[in-house]
Structure 1
């Protein structure tokens, strides 16, 4: 129980730092150092633990994967594939409700940190003449962006869970898919509950004919704007344009999910093919390689892996697992509540998985362990979705300026419904 108390205090310190806008990556590294000292580990062993966490093959692979995903996303942006995907999809869908949710859903295919800000200008533009309150717009932008995160195998959380549990990515995709569908269903209910489809979500027909240029300009620092001829071509041929623009993402998903290709090597190969097919010159490639380096994201993964390693070196993982195993708390409740609480505290799925999974893995029951792994993983997702520290939530609030209580009320009710669904599914399977 002493180990549990010490780790709880350290997590409390990390939470306090986060409330002071201290970067999560550095908070985790500081927490790792405090953990080593509090458990009486010699300083040279602490340094060794830091090095082992930094230099492990799992850490290196995760850092490379996240970098290559960022590079993949930047390639799509550089050649306007993502922009074309959005504009053509608008032309294919006439129902304003579907078009509103399509903006964050399409943007959610790429796991950018704070990516809700990418879809916010698009959703704002589409809703200008439809009298939609800021709270509902904020909810649509925030919630629908994350429908992919439980099961899409290019999100950091699911990749880290796969590495830590030594389960293949397609296992998580298969088992977590129903939860992604539940997120979608819950979002549809709250987004359009008591909304008048004939008035509140009606869009003037002429807006369907001419995509506003301001939408194009808001697509995150695009260096080149399409020519008028290109815009006209997109309007005339929306289906081919949409299929071509989404093709790289579909190829990636098919290779990883259905053909069980290793994500690291798949990303390397796919990025090289895109460089060749899209005819990037050497200077463009160099710029993209450099601009795709996000130091804070990479340090976050390193911080998570070092924190995990220090939990192991101090013996805290085994001690906490032992204490919880012999407590009066039911095992399923530990696997549900611990990731949920840490998810609320951190607001980041990969950090939540990295902190809780080393402890929970030691507690896996012999009977049906996969069931408990998925419970913990989805509870991590639930925690970050209702966390006030979630970056997408903060950015959405800053953009639309909703009444915080009303906006968060949407999010909290959705979280409660998702939590009920998680527990019901756990007991019925």
Structure 2
């Protein structure tokens, strides 16, 4: 019954999401249906709902993700991100390196539809390198997501840290080689063959000014990262500091140039940047997770398969594939599997390897999902078909997965 009911609930989520219903509301509806199908009454559902609302994990995640959306909005609205990318190209002195790094930097601002922010940059640089449309689309998606496995302010990473009871730095370290491999392979496959156009020469003083400009406009992101990683601040505190820096930069800018004055109180701008649909998605994911993990049948189901000799890794692969490919999100795979699989680990190192396997597999299935919003928007922008994009992924995605498997096998044995 548990397998049937899980399948029904996932089908409901997929149906509602396709009908443009918010992922969070879709997952809440599916969670209620899942509970009812497994004999739970409304009192149990309400108890789980309020437990989710009051949970410290929920409050921390909602606060952190909400503040990240505000930071992203401010950096876009105040033209901080645009100027950071311009300074980056002048600093790197290479269109090839810039098209490699710009989508990654812009991808650190985890907002739905954020891929459109880097599309114009990739298009401009790609035209200078004489790239085809499908290559530009692929580059925008590949290098926008390569930092996903190691960026500590992503919703998936924060979720993994909270649910997995593992140090975020440990997960970043073990996944860094996978991220680096994907980066290097992406460069070899899609960028290396092109020749850099000539760039206007600048003297040392001008170059130093460019570096200072880049550091200034990257400061909101750098402050948010350093506060959390170097000084062990809660993420929401360090992001608040990044928001404060963004406002300060805009205050300085509009005193010297009226084009940066958007004629709006910063508090109003912050309110506009708060993306409630994303917050509801986080809540819906956690509610669904709590409903699933509250059912003993799911543990019996996993245990039966493992007792019959099915490798745990194959089970993770199948479940991640079904959930993350269908829902076009890595978070549900992490939220459902972490509490079920990680307790099976005999020690912390094995727990970390299980976390890596789930996280990376969830990410890759999400990445190639036809419903992946970044992918949909990028293909629409560059007017490229899904078939051409998948052809470009032919080596990149399987080899990245095999890189993860190799790291897992070396460490597990």
| Normalised TM-score (structure 2) | 0.88
Partner residue, 1:311 = 292
The answer to whether the Cα contact below 8 Å between 1:116 and 1:142 also exists between their aligned partners in 2 is yes
Q: Give the drift of 1:327.
A: 3.1
Partner residue, 1:215 = none
Is the alpha carbon distance of 1:150 and 1:9 closer, same or farther for their aligned partners in structure 2, counting shifts above 3 Å? same
The answer to whether the Cα contact below 8 Å between 2:35 and 2:291 also exists between their aligned partners in 1 is yes
CA–CA separation in structure 2 for the residues paired with 1:131 and 1:244: 31
Tell me the secondary structure at the aligned position of residue 164 of structure 1. helix
Q: Give the drift of 1:27.
A: 1.9
Partner residue, 1:266 = 238
Partner residue, 2:163 = 164
CA–CA separation in structure 2 for the residues paired with 1:18 and 1:363: 32
Partner residue, 2:37 = 38
Tell me the secondary structure at the aligned position of residue 376 of structure 1. helix
Equivalent residues in 2 for 1:369-380 (5 A)? Answer: 369-380=351-362
CA deviations over 1:93-149 (Å, ceiling 9, x no partner)? 333322222321221222222221101011112233543111101000111001111
Partner residue, 2:63 = 64
Partner residue, 2:256 = none
Q: Give the drift of 1:86.
A: 0.7
Partner residue, 2:120 = 121
How many correspondences in the alignment? 399
Partner residue, 2:276 = 295
Whether 1:328 aligns to 2:300 is no
Choose the corresponding residue for 1:203, options 197, 206, 210.
197
The answer to whether the Cα contact below 8 Å between 2:73 and 2:273 also exists between their aligned partners in 1 is yes
Q: Give the drift of 1:236.
A: 8.8
CA deviations over 1:283-316 (Å, ceiling 9, x no partner)? 6222123112212101100100110111133334
Tell me the secondary structure at the aligned position of residue 424 of structure 1. helix
CA–CA separation in structure 1 for the residues paired with 2:43 and 2:206: 61
Deviates more, 1:338-347 or 1:300-309: 338-347
CA–CA separation in structure 2 for the residues paired with 1:334 and 1:311: 17
Is the alpha carbon distance of 1:368 and 1:259 closer, same or farther for their aligned partners in structure 2, counting shifts above 3 Å? same
| Normalised TM-score (structure 1) | 0.85
Is the alpha carbon distance of 1:18 and 1:70 closer, same or farther for their aligned partners in structure 2, counting shifts above 3 Å? closer
CA–CA separation in structure 1 for the residues paired with 2:246 and 2:131: 39
Whether 1:384 aligns to 2:366 is yes
Structure 2: gaps spanning 5 or more residues:
253-260
Q: Give the drift of 1:273.
A: 5.4
The answer to whether the Cα contact below 8 Å between 1:317 and 1:358 also exists between their aligned partners in 2 is no
